[in-house]
Structure 1
Amino acid sequence: MGEKGGAAGRGARMAKMWETMHVHHGTQHKIVVNLRAFNILLTPKETSEQHHERTVQLWQIVREWHSQFEKLTKNQKEYIKALNSWLRLNLIPIESSLKEKVSSPPRPSQPPIQALLHSWNDQLEKVPDELARSAIYSFSEVVRTIVVHQQEELKTKEKCEDLRKEFMRKKRAFDDWSRKYLERRAASGEEANPEGGEGSHQDTLAERKLAIETLESRLKNEEEANGKLCKQVREKSLGSLQTHLPELFRAVSDFALACSEMYKKLRSVTQSQNGD
């Protein structure tokens, strides 16, 4: 009786645990539904290295969550099947043409644990673990996609920074060369060179100036493209989270509720066997 009572107590605690998880997941679901009204203008304008690292960390955690969730449902079903096999081999009498000795104590044809295991197995088949597992996996893929988009954004940002450094370096070199050139012209009294050397210097000045202006225009285009990409990454990331987070927490909330109901029913089976 004590062992059966202990099983009933453990069932009650498991039911309570999953019921608590159901409540928490329900609260999380309400929070992420409200995320749909979040103003994207309040989000950072670009992805930082730290933000990207946190996104990668989230992706790894969700992948591990999916892996452990698969083990939870798989191992529980395998455990029940193993116990049933053990019952068939050890507790349930095997049909035999040989008569048992009269002195042999009668064995129960259906041990009390058999009804519990059958009920447990039936309840496990009804738990919506596939929906929850699929929702967790889908969310991990969503986060993986966000990681990829952020990597593209960071590469574009790095490209802009390299181009900006190149422009600043060449602009300083041009300004220095142009200053010295104008100083030389002023020292010579700006007299025209009859050999045409002055015209050659003017062409060089124009060519170098055009090269700097072209590089500056390229930098502006890259910065504009990077700004657009930053905005797209924010919009896509927020849109994906707004869509998939409610689905995720609805699925795991339903799973937790089903597990709570399952353990309540298993507890009732145990109690009925105890004559409660």
Structure 2
Amino acid sequence: MLAALSAALLGHIDHSAILMRVITWNRSIKGLSQDVVKDDFDNEEWETHAAILDKMLAWEKKLYDEVKAGELMKIDYQKKLALLNKQKKHGANSMALEKIKSVVSHLHTRYIVDMQSMDSTVSEINRLRDDQLYPRLKELVNGMAKMWETMRFHHGSQLKIIKEIRGLDIPLAPKETSKQHHNRTVQLWKMVGEWDSQFQKLMKHQKDYIKALNSWLNLNVVPIEHSSRKDASSPPEQADPLIKTLLHAWHNQLENLPIDRAKSSLSTFSGAVQAIMLCQVEELNLKLKWDDARRDCERKKHEFDVWHHKYMERITAASSDEVNPETVEGATQQDLVSEKKAVVDNAESKLRASEESYRKQCKIVRDKSLTSLKTHLPELFRAMLDFASSCAEMYNRLSSIRESQSPVND
């Protein structure tokens, strides 16, 4: 026990090994007064699904060691028996024969005892399988049935809400994408991706677990053959356990669930949200370009106004000195004004073009968002509603399996 606790404290935990030590330790102290020892491990009602699997693994490892030791002993027994027959054939003296007979008899006795111990281990594994694992699986089935019934109700409500608002327009909604709005879109995209990922993990792990249990059960129900089976004291072979009916139906019906449509709807909606998100990024970039163009235009207009004000002051001063405005110098100055004004006009033209591109992208994003959400959200919730309904029906069928029933139809 101390070794097991030390390993646990160090982080090297082998749950099945610890459980096996506890099992062995508990059995060794059961001879003590029950007033002195209260074995909490005998109370199996509180044990979790995982704890039961750990305990079964511990007994499986014990059975493996017993089978391995039994096979080695069987080989040793057969060798000694062959040696005894050989000695008899060659007429060995009675003392040597008696010595070998004693060894053979001892090995045979040990072999029978070990086979009986093996039978006890198999019986304990089967008891855990039928009295603990099977009820926990039934509880899991009932819990899954309730969960998918709840999911069916909520997805149905979501689909109803989406259908009701599908034909509505929202004129007061902002027509431009703010940074906060874009962040919410990114958050939605990540959440849908996480939904898709967790949904696929749920279905994969569920299938893997039921498949593993079925594979184990196919090995578990195969009887261990040995010569002591012919003994009248050996337990009779039993019919297939009840858990086999449940697991067989569970495995087959999991394979028939319409999971592909649900996965496709999640993936499609995720792609639609991502497309909206990328369009919003383009809109925000165009907004930055429009802001840059506006600042550039304002700067150039300000520079022109300052220059033009000084220019007019010089023209006024020149007029007072009776300078002829039709001179070549005057004409050159007018060209200079036109040239500087053209810079401002070009900046204003770029500003108008930037604003036009931005407004156009705003409309694209708004239309794409409304169209995508009105199209893909109902498809998503309809697919998830259908899947939840299929799961709820499947688990309700599984929970209705009774001890006298055969497997549910595939």
What displacement does 1:19 show?
Answer: 0.5
Q: What's the counterpart of residue 192 of structure 2?
A: 62
- What secondary structure does 2:175 align onto? coil
Q: What's the counterpart of residue 224 of structure 1?
A: 356
Q: Which has the larger radius of gyration?
A: 2
What displacement does 1:123 show?
Answer: 1.5
Distance 1:128 1:244 in 2: 18
Q: What's the counterpart of residue 109 of structure 2?
A: none
Distance 1:83 1:2 in 2: 16
Q: What's the counterpart of residue 389 of structure 2?
A: 257
Q: Deviations over 1:14-52 (max 9, x none)?
A: 212211110100010111122321215332111111111
Q: Deviations over 1:161-213 (max 9, x none)?
A: 10111000011000000001001111222623686222211111011112211
Q: What's the counterpart of residue 268 of structure 1?
A: 400
What displacement does 1:159 show?
Answer: 0.7
Pick which of 144-153 and 96-105 moved more: 96-105
Q: What's the counterpart of residue 331 of structure 2?
A: 199
What displacement does 1:271 show?
Answer: 5.7
Q: What's the counterpart of residue 161 of structure 1?
A: 291
- What secondary structure does 2:324 align onto? coil
Distance 2:190 2:136 in 1: 38
Q: Does 1:45 align with 2:196?
A: no
Q: What's the counterpart of residue 29 of structure 1?
A: 159
Q: What's the counterpart of residue 174 of structure 1?
A: 304
Give the 3 Å change call, closer, same or farther, for CA 220–56 of structure 1 in structure 2.
same
Q: What's the counterpart of residue 265 of structure 2?
A: 135
Among 223, 229, 252, the residue aligned to 1:100: 229
What displacement does 1:100 show?
Answer: 2.4
Alignment RMSD (CA, Å): 2.1
- Residue type matched to 2:316 in 1? A
What displacement does 1:97 show?
Answer: 9.4
Q: What's the counterpart of residue 343 of structure 2?
A: 211
- What secondary structure does 1:92 align onto? coil
Q: Is the 8 A contact 2:300 2:343 kept in 1?
A: no
What displacement does 1:5 show?
Answer: 5.2
- Residue type matched to 2:360 in 1? K
Q: Is the 8 A contact 2:242 2:403 kept in 1?
A: no
Pick which of 180-189 and 84-93 moved more: 84-93
What displacement does 1:13 show?
Answer: 2.8
Give the 3 Å change call, closer, same or farther, for CA 272–135 of structure 1 in structure 2.
farther
Distance 2:325 2:310 in 1: 18
What displacement does 1:104 show?
Answer: 1.6
What displacement does 1:107 show?
Answer: 3.3
Give the 3 Å change call, closer, same or farther, for CA 166–271 of structure 1 in structure 2.
farther
Number of positions where the alignment pairs a residue of Structure 1 with one of Structure 2: 272
Q: Runs of 5+ in structure 1 lacking a partner?
A: none
